Amino acid sequence: MNILLVSIGGVAGAIARYLLGLILMKRFPTPPFPIAMLLVNLLGSFGLGTFHGAYYGIIPLGAYEEPVFLLIAIGFFGAFTTFSTFSTEAILLLQKKRWKALIAYVGLSIVGSILVFVLGFTLFK
C-alpha cells in the first residue's frame, strides 16, 4: 500500500512538474539561466513547507508509514521537485563557462528553496 501511495503522488507530481515546466519555458523562451526548473523547485519547496506546517505543525522525522506523508511529501513533492535536473542544468552552465548565470542559478536554487520552505512552513503552521 505504501508503494502505491508514493506512486500515485509521484505520478501526479511528475506530471505537474512537466506541465508547469512547459508553460514556463514558453513564457521564458531564452532565460538568462534555467528559470523553469528554478521556479518549479522553489514552488515545490514552498509547497512542502506549507504541507509540513499546515498538516503537522512540525517537520516530522518518522512519518514514513503515514499515508498522507507518503502520498504528498514523498510522492508528489519528491517527483515535482528535481535535484537531478538542477544538477544537470548547473553543469551545463559550468561547461559553457556562464559563471554569473551558474552562481545565480545555484545560489537562488539552494538558498531560495530553503527560504521558501521556511516561509511556507511558518505561514501555515
Percent of the chain with pLDDT over 70: 100
* Mean pLDDT, the chain, integer: 96
Specify the 3-state DSSP secondary structure of 5.
helix
Distance, CA of 71 to chain centre? 15
The answer to whether 81 is a known ligand-binding residue is yes
Q: Where are the domains of the chain?
A: 2-124
pLDDT < 50: residue spans in the chain? none
The answer to whether 53 is a known ligand-binding residue is no
Q: What is the pLDDT of residues 28-53, one digit of tens each?
A: 999 999 999 999 999 999 999 999 99
pLDDT of residue 62: 83
Answer yes or no: are the C-beta atoms of 113 and 45 closer than 8 Å: yes
Question: Is the full-model pTM beyond 0.75?
Answer: yes
